[in-house]
Structure formats: structure tokens, C-alpha cells
């Protein structure tokens, strides 16, 4: 038992001794991508700090890879709490980053010249691009290694992609050779298609580089899939065609000012430049809001798709006011068809309903199968049976009462409101005996005034309740005064 206790004690003592001898230095975080440790360690692995006590009693102690400086009695006192280059702790740490610095804070003053960080790094001896050590630190405007997109005239900033660059701006100078983007990427060693690394979704042939011209990797040999104009207009070397769904390589830039023609067939613009061409993306159009007075759905105005007519105002998608340019007539009836529904003499207006239509113009155009209107409604789709009826206009022969419709010919009625009926049309044959209405109501069981149930309804000759002034034996009229 004693032997077992002594063995356990010895093991515990060994563990405590090991813990006590271990260094109290914590593991250092890795430097940021692309950053070398060169210049931060001296020969033999001693990690020295500038200004951490370079004379008079600089304390050194054993550490991983050599001797580590822990500070000095004499010399410049280090900034408290500021991490040294590469995340080291101790005196001589990197200075805190100044206002406007966009890169990670520990990149400032770490011994390497960081560029593209908004303000100059104090490690940069001058403002020459050749002196940049790191151009793609986290937070830099450049995603690629030096020179990346760093502006040669201002190494704290990046150059914008060229005016004719059509791909995502972030991909220009990102360290990868992007092709089919209108101009050769600065990351490409040459203009050959064999140098291409990526043809992304925004290139002239999305996700595939096999359409890139062999000796001009900025362009494709065929129009991109979203090109809507004639293929012969694409990169024809003659003019800049705009509104065709994609940027024409003939355009000097993507600005609308570069456009030569904006209304070729297939263009989203129906009129001469600038029309509705997007100011900074001339391959597309910018849809304006529908103006006051527009009677069609707001999204149909200048949508770059179809010429809408009968909308109260001219659609910018219509090349002219001629009837044969009308493609869609949404509010004039006929399932959007324009023939017979739009006024040929004024394509902004609807044509009147056809002869024989007895209901309102609104009912003719409401996209509902209206019944009892004298002629078949086009929205009944040629079906004459009453089961397709969706509405029974009061002004029609039914007076709004479904049972009046002829079940086999839904444009006609079995019961018609007489022309001489002076009361509300909805009250004729509605189940209540109305009197004084100019015509005997079929709801009245006899022509005696005692049968009257309503004598002073709108349009009745009597203005007081039954029997009112209704004639004793004539429920359709009032007695002489």
C-alpha cells in the first residue's frame, strides 16, 4: 500500500515540475496571408523588437526557435497592449493604425509595405508601386497579389476597371485571369484564350471559355446568349448597338453616350438614343415609372417587351402610333388581343363594344364572362351555356338576376325587363310585388292594389307607402289626382 502511495506521489510531483518549467509564452497567431516573417527574426531565431531595449540589460530567455526579447530597461518604451508584427507580444509592437486605414490593424507598421489600405503604411519608404510588399491584405482594395489593382499614382488606392470592362468589377485584378470581359484582364499574362482561368456568369459566354476568341480573350466569337438583336450587329466593327441585352464590343464604354443606335429590332428601346437605355449599362434599358393617366398595369409601361395599346397613353415600347405596332391590349377585352378591341384611329384608346352589345363598355372589357348582354361576350370563350357566366350586368336583359338568363343562350334572357318599366331594373320579377312602375310586375298575383307590397320605390308614381296613390285595379299606375 505504501509503495502504491509513493508511486502516485512521485507521478504527481513530476507533473507539477513539468508545468512549472514550461514557458508562459502563449502560441503566436499566424501572420496574415502573403506576409513573410522575414525581417522580424534575427539569425539563429532570436525574435528581436526594435526599440524594445536595444541597449543596457535587454532580458532574453529561452523560447521556441531561439532567444526571445522580453523588453529592456533602456531604450524606447513599447506601446502597451499593441501586438507586435505577426501577433507577437512584448515591446516594439506595431503602431496603432491611423484613421482611414482599411486593412487589418496589425498590418500597419509591421515591417512590410502594405498598399491599397486607404492611407500610406509607415513601412513604405516612398509612394512607388515597386516598393509595395503586400497588396492583398485583408481590407485592401486589391484582391490580387502585387501589383494587383493598386493605382501606380496612389498606392493607397486601386484603379477602377476600364470603361469597357463588362464583368463584375471585383474580378478585375483579383489575381485570376478572367476572360470574355470586354478588355484583357490585368491578371492575364497575354490576350490568348489559353491563358484564361475563369469565364464567370458575367462574361460574354457565361461559365464557359470555349467561345473566347483564340487571340483575343476579352471577347467571344459569337454573341452571348442574352444578345437579342441580330447576330450580325454584334462586334461588327461598324457601330455601337445598344439595348440588345449585352454590351456590344464596338462600344467604347458601357455608358449611354457611347451608343450609335438604340432601336434596332430586338432592342429593349423602340426609339432613337438615348431613349430608355440604362445610363451606365447600355446593353440594357432602365424602365421608367408609369406616368399619370396610364390605365394598363404599371409594369407594362416601357417594359422593353411588347407594345401595349389602349392604355390611355402611348407606350414607349411602341415604335409609332400605327395600329399594326400594337402587340398587347390588356384592358380593351379580347384576352389581350388588339384586333377589334383598340381604336385603329387612336391606339391609346379602346374601340367601342360591337353593335348589339347592351351592357356597359366596362363589362365588355372586364375579362369576365358577362351574360345577358345581347351578344356573346368573348370571355365566355365561345360557350353559350349559362354555366360559364361570371357576371349578370344590371344594364343587360337579366337586370342582374341569374334566373332570367336563357340557360342555352347566355347572351339572351328568358325574362326581359320591359322598356316601359320605370322602377329599378333589379326589382322586376325579383319576388316582391312592386306597384306604380309603368308595367305590371310578374311578382304581383293580381292587378288589384291589395296585392301591392312596394308602392313607393324609386321610379314609382306613388311616393307614399301602399296603397299609396296606386289605382285600385291597375297596379302599374297611380289613380288620377
Mean pLDDT of 189-197: 93
How far apart are the C-alpha atoms of 230 and 223, rounded to whole Å?
9
Mean pLDDT of 23-37: 40
pLDDT of 16 strictly over 90:
no
pLDDT of 1 strictly over 60:
no
Give the per-residue pLDDT at 201: 86
CA 272 to chain centre: 26
User: Among 161-175, 245-259, 295-309, where is mean pLDDT lowest?
Assistant: 161-175
The answer to whether 115 and 134 are in contact (CB under 8 A) is yes
State the chain's mean pLDDT as an integer.
81
Beta bridge partners of 154: 151
Mean pLDDT of 238-263: 94
Q: Write out the DSSP string of 110-142.
A: SSS-B-SSSS--TT-SSS-GGG-SBS--TT-S-
Give the per-residue pLDDT at 473: 95
Q: By C-alpha distance, which of 248, 171, 174, 183 is closest to 216?
A: 183
Identify each DSSP E strand in 149-278 by its residue range.
Answer: 150-151, 154-158, 212-213, 216-220
| pTM > 0.85: yes or no | no
How far apart are the C-alpha atoms of 181 and 198, rounded to whole Å?
10
Give the per-residue pLDDT at 335: 63
pLDDT, tens only, 352-379:
888 999 999 889 888 799 999 999 998 8
How far apart are the C-alpha atoms of 87 and 151, rounded to whole Å?
29
pLDDT of 54 strictly over 60:
no
pLDDT, tens only, 92-118:
444 588 999 999 999 999 999 999 999
The residue that leads in pLDDT, 49 or 322, is: 322
Percent of the chain with pLDDT strictly greater than 90: 59
pLDDT of 226 strictly over 60:
yes
Q: Where does residue 389 rank: exposed (0-12), middle (13-18), buried (19+ CB within 10 A)?
A: buried
Q: What are the residue ranges spanned by the domains of the chain?
A: 85-159, 433-481
pLDDT, tens only, 436-460:
999 999 999 999 999 999 999 999 9
Amino acid at each position: 500500500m505504501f509503495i502504491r502511495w509513493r508511486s502516485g506521489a512521485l507521478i504527481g510531483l513530476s507533473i507539477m515540475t513539468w508545468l512549472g518549467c514550461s514557458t508562459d509564452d502563449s502560441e503566436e497567431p499566424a501572420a496574415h496571408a502573403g506576409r513573410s516573417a522575414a525581417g522580424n527574426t534575427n539569425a539563429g531565431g532570436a525574435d528581436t523588437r526594435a526599440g524594445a531595449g536595444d541597449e543596457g540589460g535587454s532580458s532574453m530567455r529561452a523560447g521556441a526557435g531561439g532567444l526571445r526579447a522580453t523588453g529592456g530597461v533602456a531604450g524606447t518604451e513599447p506601446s502597451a497592449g499593441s501586438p507586435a508584427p505577426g501577433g507577437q507580444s512584448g515591446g516594439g509592437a506595431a503602431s496603432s493604425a491611423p484613421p482611414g486605414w482599411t486593412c487589418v490593424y496589425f498590418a500597419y507598421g509591421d515591417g512590410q509595405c502594405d498598399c491599397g489600405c486607404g492611407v500610406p503604411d509607415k513601412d513604405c519608404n516612398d509612394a512607388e508601386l515597386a516598393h509595395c510588399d503586400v497588396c492583398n491584405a485583408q481590407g485592401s482594395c486589391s484582391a490580387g497579389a502585387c501589383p494587383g489593382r493598386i493605382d501606380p499614382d496612389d498606392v493607397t488606392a486601386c484603379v477602377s476597371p476600364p470603361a469597357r470592362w463588362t464583368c463584375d468589377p471585383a474580378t478585375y485584378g483579383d489575381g485570376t485571369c478572367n476572360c470574355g470581359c470586354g478588355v484583357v484582364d490585368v491578371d492575364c499574362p497575354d490576350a490568348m484564350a489559353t491563358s484564361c482561368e475563369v469565364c464567370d456568369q458575367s462574361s460574354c459566354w457565361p461559365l464557359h471559355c470555349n467561345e473566347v476568341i483564340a487571340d483575343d480573350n476579352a471577347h467571344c466569337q459569337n454573341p452571348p446568349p442574352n444578345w437579342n438583336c441580330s447576330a450580325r450587329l454584334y462586334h461588327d466593327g461598324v457601330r455601337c448597338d445598344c439595348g440588345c441585352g449585352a454590351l456590344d464590343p464596338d462600344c467604347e464604354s458601357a455608358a449611354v453616350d457611347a451608343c450609335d443606335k438604340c432601336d434596332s429590332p430586338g432592342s429593349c428601346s423602340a426609339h432613337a438614343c438615348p431613349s430608355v437605355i440604362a445610363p451606365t449599362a447600355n446593353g440594357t434599358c432602365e424602365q421608367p415609372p408609369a406616368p399619370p393617366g396610364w390605365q394598363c398595369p404599371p409594369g407594362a409601361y416601357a417594359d422593353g417587351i411588347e407594345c401595349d395599346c389602349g392604355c390611355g397613353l402611348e407606350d414607349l415600347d411602341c415604335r409609332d402610333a400605327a395600329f399594326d405596332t400594337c402587340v398587347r391590349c390588356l384592358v380593351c377585352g379580347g384576352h389581350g388581343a388588339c384586333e377589334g378591341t383598340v381604336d385603329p384611329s387612336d391606339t391609346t384608346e379602346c374601340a367601342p363594344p360591337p353593335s348589339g352589345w347592351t351592357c356597359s363598355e366596362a363589362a365588355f372589357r372586364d375579362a369576365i364572362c358577362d351574360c345577358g348582354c345581347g351578344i356573346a361576350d368573348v370571355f365566355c370563350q365561345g360557350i353559350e351555356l349559362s354555366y360559364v357566366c361570371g357576371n349578370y350586368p344590371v344594364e343587360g336583359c337579366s337586370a342582374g338576376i341569374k334566373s332570367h338568363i336563357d340557360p342555352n343562350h347566355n347572351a339572351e334572357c328568358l325574362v326581359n325587363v320591359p322598356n316601359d318599366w320605370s322602377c329599378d331594373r333589379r326589382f322586376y320579377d325579383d319576388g316582391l310585388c312592386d306597384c306604380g312602375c309603368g308595367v305590371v310586375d310578374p311578382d304581383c298575383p293580381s292587378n288589384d292594389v291589395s296585392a301591392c307590397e312596394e308602392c313607393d320605390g324609386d321610379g314609382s308614381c306613388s311616393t307614399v307607402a301602399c296603397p299609396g296613390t296606386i289605382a285600385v285595379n291597375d297596379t302599374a299606375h297611380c289613380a288620377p289626382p
